[in-house]
Amino acid sequence: MFPHKWCSVKVRAIAFGDNVSYHPPAMANVCLITGKQSRVGGGYSNRTRATKFNPTGKRRRKVNMQKKTLFIPELGKKITVTVSTKGLKTMKKRGAYKTLKEAGLVR
């Protein structure tokens, strides 16, 4: 199930002493757990809906990415991950270690 097909981010682990950090590339705003990424959507006002003309154009809808430092008891280390809020909710529900292992972020 994890990681999703459309998630094209190569994850690199960088070890600094006891801390292990996982960060996607700066330009790719992709969640490492859910595979969510930014999408383009229309920006419509109520006036635009009322008339057939007057388009407002497109805008990019970004993912709500959060940088979190988690202590993983199974590893005995702190891990810093950049994931979406839905990814954090998934980690809380299933367990951080199990979710990160399924995503291929920890061994």
In a domain, 102, yes or no: no
Q: How high is the pLDDT of residue 28? A: 65
Q: Distance (Å, rounded) from C-alpha 16 to C-alpha 47?
A: 54
The 10s digit of each residue's pLDDT in 75-94 is 999 999 999 999 999 999 99
Determine the residue type at 18.
D
Q: Distance (Å, rounded) from C-alpha 35 to C-alpha 102?
A: 13
In a domain, 34, yes or no: yes
Q: Which domain holds residue 57?
A: 13-84
**Domain total in the chain:** 1
In a domain, 8, yes or no: no
Instruction: Report yes or no: 96 and 41 within 8 Å, Cβ to Cβ.
Output: no
DSSP conformation class of 7 = -
Give the residue-averaged pLDDT of 42-60: 72
Beta bridge partners of 13: 22
CATH number at residue 44: 2.30.170
Q: How high is the pLDDT of residue 43? A: 74
- CA nearest to 9, candidates 92, 82, 101: 82
